[in-house]
Structure 1
Amino acid sequence: MLSLLQAAGLTAVLWAVWKFGLRHYLRPSSLDNVPGPKPESWIFGSLNTFFSRHSRPFHESIWRNYSGVAKLQTFLGRPMLYVWDPKAMHSIVIKDQYTYEETDVFINFNHMVFGPSLLSSLGNEHRRQRKMLNPVFHINHMRYMCQTFYKVTHKLRGAINKQVLDGPKEIDLMQWFTRTALELLGQGGLGHSFDSLEDDTENTFTEDLKTLIPNFRPFLLVSRFLPIYKLNHIGTPAFRRWVVESIPSQRIKRCLQIMDRLDGVSRDILARKKAALAAGDEALLQSMGEGKDIMSVLLKANTQASEDERMPDDEFLGHMCSLMFAAMDTTSGALARIIHLLAQHPDVQEKLRAEIVEARRGDGDIDYDQLVTLPYLEAVCRESLRLHSPATTMSRQTREDVVMPLSQPIRGKDGTMMHEITVPKGTIVAVGILASNCNEALWGPDAMEWKPERWLKPLPQAVLDAHIPGVYSNLMTFLGGGRACIGFKFSQMEMKIVLSVLLETFKFSPSNKDIYWHLGGLQSPAIGREGAKAQMPLIVERISP
């Protein structure tokens, strides 16, 4: 019996080596001629380095040594394309976007953790959901939420103000920005308050959301190139839950704990929103968000939708969970980066503060239409989101063979010039968000420098001629096409309101702590290169009541 089991095990191992590795070396591929860096490991290729928290030097070396596209070897030799050529990106996110779909790992992970939502749907289902959600992210609806955002931000200002009443103090602003981003999303998006923002105590729900991806990361990396996700379709949900609970891993148990809490909070919010909607307009006005939050508007529209377009409860729950997760870390990270940059460049901070003070003048807040047109505030935000986009890459997977056009030919490994690349079905393609934003061939030799003033004059002609397919300011920060970030205007308004309120009241300066920004999936600050916890201590000084 033992020998049979050993033989079966050996057969399984040999099959896996052939299926996911050896055949990529022995079979010719249309990607064989694409240049790229030498893999660091036969087993993992460049996978660990590419997705490492310390991967920025590796990414920058690829930008310097290759032109628009490079091939990386990953798990057991499987090829992955790293792409920042403008014409190729246009093909990926717009022209052939339904060929370059989200990866199976991404779709299945989001469906498992959040349920059916924009993050876990494809094709017609994704288009249906987006059509339903688009109106609540329209600019007209943003105006309604402006006062809610100011109310939350005033609480943040009050909390920070308490800490600096006796003079300048070192404060971990990352913790405050994460809590504030969740509360802004809570009140503006869900009509729910997660955090009073009254004291310096860490919010446990915020911490749960922040640790979800770090706990899942090892499984996500392996799943990119081994079909572990297919186990998600075996048996009933109860059976799969039992299997997962039986795995002796504290990391997995922690993931389940976070998912359960996220589901419980979402169900509670949805039940209360539906009850308020059923009670009539007066009840909605008395609820958090006064019935103008995203979920209240969406629930109301859902009752008027046709039967085939109406969202079931599990879809609402999926959208709520994914909103909480996706909107918190990206916005808080971007906001923290801007404040850190302003602390390092006091001249820019002072110039921006003067613009904000001049715009406000009276006792009231700057209204939405004026806030979004402040030129220097816009320049600071754009430059920060260009050079330090929160998400640095976005993966896609080809659903069939496809020809990827190039704006500039590349020299193949055999010396021939390649004007296009035939990409086989099943290939993972990493869209280089940061690589495109920092492309010196387009932005000029100072592309790696933070210069807000570049946005106060005409952009380089090369940028305009490239027709970068992003939805925002010739940048790929919020992607483009049918899977562009649906809430990018929501995020911009959050950042601008927080900046306008805080800069008028406080001055930010560097502390004596070494703040290191990890790359990984999303950029985040820590104390020192090996720091594990997201932290950004700065000196905060009150400059006005």
Structure 2
Amino acid sequence: MAGTIFLLLISAAFMTWRYLVRRPTAPIIDKIPGPAPDTFLRGNLPRFLSRHGSDFQRHVALDYGPVSKIHGILGRPILYISDPKALHHIIIKEEPIFQETSAFLKSNMLMFGPGLLSTAGDVHRRQRKMLNPAFSTVHMRSMIPIFYQVVHKLRNAVAKQVKEGSQEVDMLNWMGRTALELIGQGGLGYSFDPLTQDMQNEYGNALKSWFPNMQKVAMLRRFTPLFANMGPAWFRRFVLSLIPIAKIQKVKELVDTMTARSHEIFRGKKAALRRGDEELLRQVGEGRDIMSILIRENSGTSDTNRLPDEELIAQMSLLVLAATDTTSNSLSRMLQLLSEHPDVQEKLRQELLEAGAGDGLSYDELDQLPYLDSICRETLRVYPAAPVVIRVATKDTVLPLSEPIVGTDGTMISEIPISKGMEVIVGILGCNSSKALWGEDALEWKPERWLSPLPATVTKNTIPGVYSNLMTFIGGKRACIGFKFSEMEMKVVMSVLLSNFRFRSTDKPIEWNVGGVRYPTVGKIDNTPQLPLQVELLKDIKA
């Protein structure tokens, strides 16, 4: 009861604050098509952000054209934009105007400190410049042996589980454990999971439960700006400890665990670097992990560009969180799709076996397998793991459109006036699956489309995605810095698994749920993340 009263009071304060600072929108905004608000107080947000909101999100993304509108708190309009020209303005040309929301930046700052996902402007630019070399193609080439070592442990563990014959296996569990270990070794030089037995790791458990717990407070996260500057950190923690809402206290507990372990790993890294190369070689990752490189590069840079320790530490948990569920859940989606398309699975297996990809290839050899590349791209096109990204305008501006849209009153609209403070959703799914861009089969999963030249409507439009004419990894200055890392992870995992196992669907219904990252469950009632597949060891291949 106390928690409900507290939530109502905070909601009232937040709504009043937003109403007072709200600026009027141009009349043309009222004519942009979209679903009617479910309620005046909360608009469409509960349905859009609900665990079962996938169909509604697809409806908003695909059924109203390249620009549509939903309603936020107190009827505040929120635009969903998938028009390539408008996206180019948001992501590239007018990036300084369209920033992450205050709630996003300030909540990440409070939880993790001043990292890439909680800073903007010059601070963000300086951090990204320092991090870029660790995510370069040159560095990825040196990471491939680490990837194969980890994934071969996965192969052996799954082979042991199915050695007596085909078995039902929760592949989401294995993909999550593997992705965490890959970013642990490759990103932090730290081992979370030996992949040989069930082993509890407090840091790993906190990271794995982060997104499910954050989904529970998705609406509350929008209130963060009210508290971000409420006195010093110790006072904010005291106030937070008084809030009688269990899901908020759970997030606080997870943050405390991640913060403590990040500091511990960081101190160990700095100590090893001081002791020299021999000590680094004895560590997990042999000093080739991203954090070791970052600390080493940072120590050798000028005082002007050097990052303080708090900024380095802030990257650690954010780095792992950003890399784990997105990659593991994309891999799980690929395995499900291959189970549903056995002909595609067999064709991919033949390519991998002929190349010897399951045993170990170089970065460049792996990158030149056309069908593997096509399956990765097509899965990331149709099923982006995190399709909701929001930006807010910091000043009045106008978004041009590639083609005019038809307003609700028949008016032709060729540009969209944006008022300061208006939120826009970057239309990742809408752009990736646009029939106007990709053709009438845009909603179908067809890996073969990547084996031929892409439509001119795709290549000639200024789609601002950093990866393969797709918006999956965003673009511009806030593009996913680790997309090459993720792509190589996926290719190594698929190479090893498909070379050694055959995957089939079970009779259990798989539902993909809305969250910070999409996740699968069995049916709509049970909310336990899982992906059961029938797994068979290929007897003629030694696991």
**The two structures share one fold, judged by TM-score above 0.5:** yes
- The match for 1:117 is 115
Aligned partner of 1:86 among 80, 84, 87: 84
2:264 to 256, 268, 271: 268
Q: 1:283 to 1:31 in 2, by over 3 A?
A: same
Aligned equivalents of 2:536 and 2:154: distance in 1? 15
Q: The residue matched to 2:117 in structure 1 has which SS?
A: helix
The answer to whether residue 417 in structure 2 is matched with residue 422 in structure 1 is yes
Does the 8 A contact of 1:51 with 1:521 survive in 2?
A: no
Match of 2:461 in 1: 466
The answer to whether the aligner puts 1:451 opposite 2:446 as a matched pair is: yes
Does the aligned pair in 1 maintain the 2:61–2:80 contact within 8 Å?
no
Question: 1:385-424 to 2 correspondence within 5 Å?
Answer: 385-424=380-419
Give the SS at the match of 2:402: strand
Query: Which residue number corresponds to residue 495 of structure 1?
Result: 490
- 1:337 aligned to 333, 339, 342, which one? 333
Q: d(CA) in 2 for partners of 1:24 and 1:244?
A: 27
Aligned to 1:247: 243
Q: Kindly state the Cα deviation for residue 292 of structure 1 after the two structures are TM-superposed.
A: 0.9
Q: Name the residue aligned to 2:293.
A: 297
Residue matched to 2:343: 347
Is the 1:86–1:407 contact (alpha carbons within 8 Å) kept by the matching residues of 2?
A: yes
Structure 1 residue 242: Cα displacement: 0.9
Whether 1:325 aligns to 2:332 is no
Please show how residues 38-77 of structure 1 align to structure 2 within 5 Å.
38-77=36-75
Structure 2 residue runs without a partner (length 5+)? 1-7
* Residue-by-residue CA offset, 1:220-267 (whole Å, 9 max, x unaligned): 32443xx44231211111111111111122212211111111111111
Would you say the 8 A contact 2:473–2:480 is kept in 1?
yes
Deviation digits for residues 268-295 of structure 1 (CA, Å, limit 9, x no counterpart) = 1111111110001111122111111111
Shift of 1:212: 2.3
Q: What's the offset of the Cα at 1:12?
A: 10
Answer yes or no: is 1:369 the counterpart of 2:367.
no
Q: Distance in 1 between matches of 2:25 and 2:10?
A: 21
Q: CA deviation at 1:41?
A: 1.3
Partner of 2:196: 198
The one-letter amino acid paired with 1:91 is H
CA deviations over 1:458-481 (Å, ceiling 9, x no partner): 111111122211011110000010
CA deviation vs aligned residue, 1:25-65 (integer Å, no higher than 9, x gap): 99865522322211111211111111222222223323443
What displacement does 1:428 show?
A: 0.8
Correspondence 1:35-184 to 2 at 5 A = 35-184=33-182
Superposition deviation, residue 531 in structure 1: 2.6
Letter in 2 for 1:86: P
Alpha carbon RMSD of aligned pairs, Å?
A: 2.2
Q: Aligned equivalents of 2:137 and 2:350: distance in 1?
A: 27
Superposed CA deviations along residues 289-331 of structure 1, whole A, max 9, x for unmatched, are 1111111111111111000111111111110110111111100
Residue from 426, 429, 452 that aligns with 1:431: 426
Question: What is the SS of the residue equivalent to 1:407?
Answer: strand
Once the two structures are overlaid, the 10-residue window that deviates more, 483-492 or 27-36, is 27-36
- 2:505 aligned residue (504, 510, 524): 510
Code of the aligned partner of 2:117:
L
Is 1:313 the counterpart of 2:309? The answer is: yes
Counterpart in the other structure of 1:238: 234
The normalised TM-score by structure 1 is 0.94
Q: TM-score, normalised by structure 2?
A: 0.94
Q: 2:517 aligns with which of 516, 522, 542?
A: 522
Pick one of 346, 352, 357 that aligns with 1:356: 352
Comparing 46-55 with 97-106, greater Cα deviation is found at 46-55
Q: CA deviation at 1:16?
A: 6.2
**Cα distance change, pair 423–285 in 1 and its aligned pair in 2 (3 A):** same
C-alpha contact 2:359 2:496 (8 A) present in aligned 1: no
- CA shift, 1:11, in A, is 12
Give the alignment partner of residue 253 of structure 2, picking from 252, 257, 261: 257
Task: Give the letter for the 2:347 counterpart.
Answer: K
Deviations 1:397-423 (A, max 9, x none): 110111111111112234321111110
Alpha carbons 2:23, 2:421 under 8 Å: kept: no
Number of residues paired by the alignment?
A: 533
- Going from structure 1 to structure 2, the CA distance change for 1:194 and 1:385 (only over 3 Å counts) comes to same
Amino acid at match of 1:32: D
Q: Which amino acid aligns with 1:344?
A: E
The 2-side partners of 1:430 and 1:27 are apart by 17
Task: State the distance in 2 between where 1:527 and 1:364 align.
Answer: 33
Q: 1:367 to 1:65 in 2, by over 3 A?
A: closer
Contact 1:99 1:399 in 2 (8 A): yes
Structure 1 residues 14 and 200: CA distance shift in structure 2, 3 A: closer
| Gap change, CA 1:23 and 1:307, over 3 Å in 2 | closer
What residue is the counterpart of 1:3 in the other structure?
Answer: none
1:381 paired residue number: 376
